[in-house]
Structure 1
């Protein structure tokens, strides 16, 4: 399974932010943002930190891509 972070990328566009600003505002490592760009899973703690800083829920930021779809 993979994760789909398109919701998060749309939130960034709506807030006129880029990925570098996301790393700074949410105190993330660039490697974590790279993992999300590749559709890899990140910890709930990371998603919580992003959600609280950007005022977004988990479901708005990430969805699961089921195998075979």
Structure 2
């Protein structure tokens, strides 16, 4: 399965966050987490939770899993 963060990038735009790197201090995630997400790689549930908490959303609002 592939991890897809397209919904997250759209949500950031909707919330007026134009630069993906602004998510780092907002959610308290590392640059490595953001780099992995940009590549569509898996990140920890803890990181996803931090993002959801910062954006006041649910995990289904930021990530989907797709068949290869």
Matched, 1:44 2:45: yes
Q: Which runs of structure 2 are paired with 1:3-14 in the superposition (5 Å)?
A: 3-14=3-14
Distance in 2 between residues matched to 1:28 and 1:45, nearest whole Å: 9
Structure 1 gap ranges (5+): none
Give the total of aligned pairs: 67
TM-score (norm: length of structure 2): 0.91
User: Partner of 1:59: helix, strand, or coil?
Assistant: helix
Shift of 1:30: 1.1
Distance in 2 between residues matched to 1:54 and 1:27, nearest whole Å: 12
Distance in 1 between residues matched to 2:50 and 2:4, nearest whole Å: 18
Match of 1:19 in 2: 20
Shift of 1:2: 1.8
Shift of 1:50: 0.4
Shift of 1:39: 0.4
Q: Root-mean-square deviation (CA), in Å? A: 0.8
TM-score (norm: length of structure 1): 0.90
